[in-house]
């Protein structure tokens, strides 16, 4: 149980450990097909737990501003970075849960908040960019405003982590939709250069 794992840890470490465990359990639940009432209820429970964990992390972030720490790994900057990462990840998970529940507008709102809170986080930028591209592609008439925002986020994620092939592959799709075959081929080539198995 989470209580046994976190026994003897300081409160910030307990909150971080709990956040990490909830994220792992939520990812496992997202992998299960939603084909019955029990699976839907489990997703709803994961959403509730993830939101509660995110609020705890927000509270923790506010409280560490005044808490002095002796050990380097418990310094404000180290804890803040870890907490901000977990908050962004929680927003991303909640967006995925909302998408599974066909609540697209709420998912978009959560991802927008995540990008605002962590503008230099690759995972958040990529999640938001791929989400926007998917929405733009599957709406009637390919929404150009969403499509352009998708491109911006995918370019941002490609710059934030050049060792990942996914942003380049999705940019290839984006340029292909824009009938820019030269850039499309260039992005696909870059994706294969970064990861030949992609």
Tens of pLDDT, residues 10-69: 777 788 788 878 888 887 887 777 777 777 788 788 888 888 887 888 787 777 655 555
Mean residue pLDDT of the chain comes to 80
- The pLDDT value recorded for residue 91 is 75
Q: Let me know: does 188 contact 158? Beta carbons within 8 Å.
A: no
Residue 66, pLDDT score: 52
For residues 197 and 139, the model is more confident at: 197
Between the alpha carbon of residue 22 and those of residues 39, 40, 187, the distances in Å are 16, 17, 36
C-alpha–C-alpha distance, residues 174 and 131, integer Å: 12
Which of residues 6 and 158 earns the better pLDDT score? 158
Model pLDDT, residue 171:
96
Nearest-angstrom CA–CA distance, 54 and 86: 8
pTM to 2 decimal places:
0.65
């Amino acid at each position: 149980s989470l209580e046994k794992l976190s026994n003897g840890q300081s409160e910030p470490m307990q909150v971080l450990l709990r956040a990490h465990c909830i994220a792992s359990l939520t990812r496992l639940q997202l992998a299960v097909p939603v084909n019955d009432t029990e699976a839907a209820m489990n997703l709803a429970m994961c959403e509730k737990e993830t939101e509660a964990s995110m609020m705890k992390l927000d509270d923790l972030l506010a409280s560490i501003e005044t808490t002095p720490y002796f050990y380097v790994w418990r310094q404000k900057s180290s804890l803040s970075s870890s907490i901000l990462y977990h908050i962004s990840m929680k927003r991303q998970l909640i967006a995925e849960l909302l998408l599974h529940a066909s609540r697209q507008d709420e998912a978009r709102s959560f991802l927008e908040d995540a990008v605002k809170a962590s503008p230099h986080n690759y995972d958040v930028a990529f999640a938001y960019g791929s989400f926007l591209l998917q929405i733009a592609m599957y709406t009637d008439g390919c929404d150009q405003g969403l499509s352009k925002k998708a491109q911006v986020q995918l370019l941002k994620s490609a710059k934030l982590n050049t060792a990942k092939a996914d942003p380049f592959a999705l940019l290839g799709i984006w340029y292909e939709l824009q009938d820019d075959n030269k850039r499309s081929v260039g992005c696909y080539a870059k994706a294969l250069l970064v990861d030949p198995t992609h």
